[in-house]
Amino acid sequence: MYSREEIVTNSRISEYKEFLKKHELTYEETDYTIGLYDGDKLIGCCSLTENCIKLLAIDELYQGQGLTNTLVGEMLKRVYMSGRMNVFIFTKPEKEFEFNKLGFYTIVKTEDVLFLEKRSDGIGSYLKNLEKERSEKGRVASIVMNLNPFTLGHRSLIEKASRENDHVHVFIVKEDRSVFPYDVRLELLRRGTAEFENVTVHEGSEYIVSSTTFPTYFIKSKDDIPEIYARVDALVFAKYIAKTLNISRRYVGTEPLSKTTNMYNKVLKEALGEESIEVIEVERSQAEGRVISASYVRRYIREGRLEEAFKLLPETTIEFLRSDRGKEIIKKIEKMSVSQRH
């Protein structure tokens, strides 16, 4: 009988890192990690970040004993106890049959990665709700935004898409790891776009830019991670979301301050182009010779330069920042270190 233990001590973590390396997996910090032991020997491991299972490996000498099922079952139990109703897995493509047998359903499969979910009606249920907003007339476009916070740059991009298309679907990133909470970002988006009659704002989803399901654990080189993630995200969008809403265009803003975003836009053009979806990259709006960026807004707030921050924001965002809750967020930003601001 093998024992299961949470990996938390430094000695255990060192052994765990070596075990991952042996199985060509990349260590990352997770919410919860368990090891499977035969005596003192680590023979298997599995990790969980929110509701995404990752870093699953079994020693080759112990494979074929149902240990994958044991570890996955442990993680499923933990997720369901937290109140979440769906579980995702990123793994290697050759594992598809094995995980299908365990009751997981394939969403996207590429040469590098397999993305699955536990609920048979997971993405289908999401798409059923989206379909209510489908437009059959004219040209339909889309934008995906984080909005931390909603700036004049974001508004300008939405306004441009609104002018150039018959209908625009704007999706907000649901992941609640920004300084401005998800509910605030969603409300600012709604207020900031209320005048555009052909713009539909969608609540966030685990199927669009969710860091919970960021596929880092099986990549040999961390340099490959952003590109592989971008392609998976693009394929989920193209094969499911865009198809459901009759979307033929996706607008993105340039990001001179971020190599990752530039790479992301490049991958979007390639992947969505293969699905006949045009990606329109728009130069970022500027104010006083500098690009309008949410990161600049947060920096100005942190440095106590509110008036400069307000020059980059629409009146709806400024009004919020002057409210009691807005003032609380300002105080939070002012106390943050540079590494925490994002």
| Structural tokens at position 210 | 């969710």
What per-residue confidence (pLDDT) applies to 226?
A: 64
* Single pTM value for the model: 0.88
What does the chain come to in residues? Answer: 342
What per-residue confidence (pLDDT) applies to 324?
A: 98
What per-residue confidence (pLDDT) applies to 217?
A: 36
Gyration radius of the chain's alpha carbons: 22
- Smallest Cα–Cα separation from 252: which of 212, 314, 209, 308? 209
What per-residue confidence (pLDDT) applies to 24?
A: 85
Contacts of 64 (CB under 8 A, 6+ apart): none
What per-residue confidence (pLDDT) applies to 50?
A: 87
- Measured CA to CA, the distance from residue 241 to residue 233 in angstroms comes to 11
| Structural tokens at position 117 | 């979910």
Return the SS3 of 337. coil
What per-residue confidence (pLDDT) applies to 288?
A: 76
Q: Which domains does the chain have, with CATH numbers?
A: 3-120 (3.40.630.30), 126-340 (3.40.50.620)
State the 10-residue block means of pLDDT for the chain, 342 residues long.
86 92 86 94 93 92 94 95 92 92 94 91 95 93 95 97 98 88 97 97 87 45 64 92 97 78 86 95 86 92 95 97 97 76 47
Burial of 132 (0-12, 13-18, 19+ CB in 10 A): exposed
Check residue 65 and give left, alpha or beta (phi > 0: left; psi -120 to 50: alpha).
alpha
List pLDDT tens digits, range 170-212: 999 888 778 999 999 999 999 999 999 999 999 989 898 765 5
Return the SS3 of 6. strand
Angle, alpha carbons 331-294-259 (nearest 5°): 130
Q: How far is CA 151 from the centre of its chain?
A: 21
| Structural tokens at position 221 | 């080189």
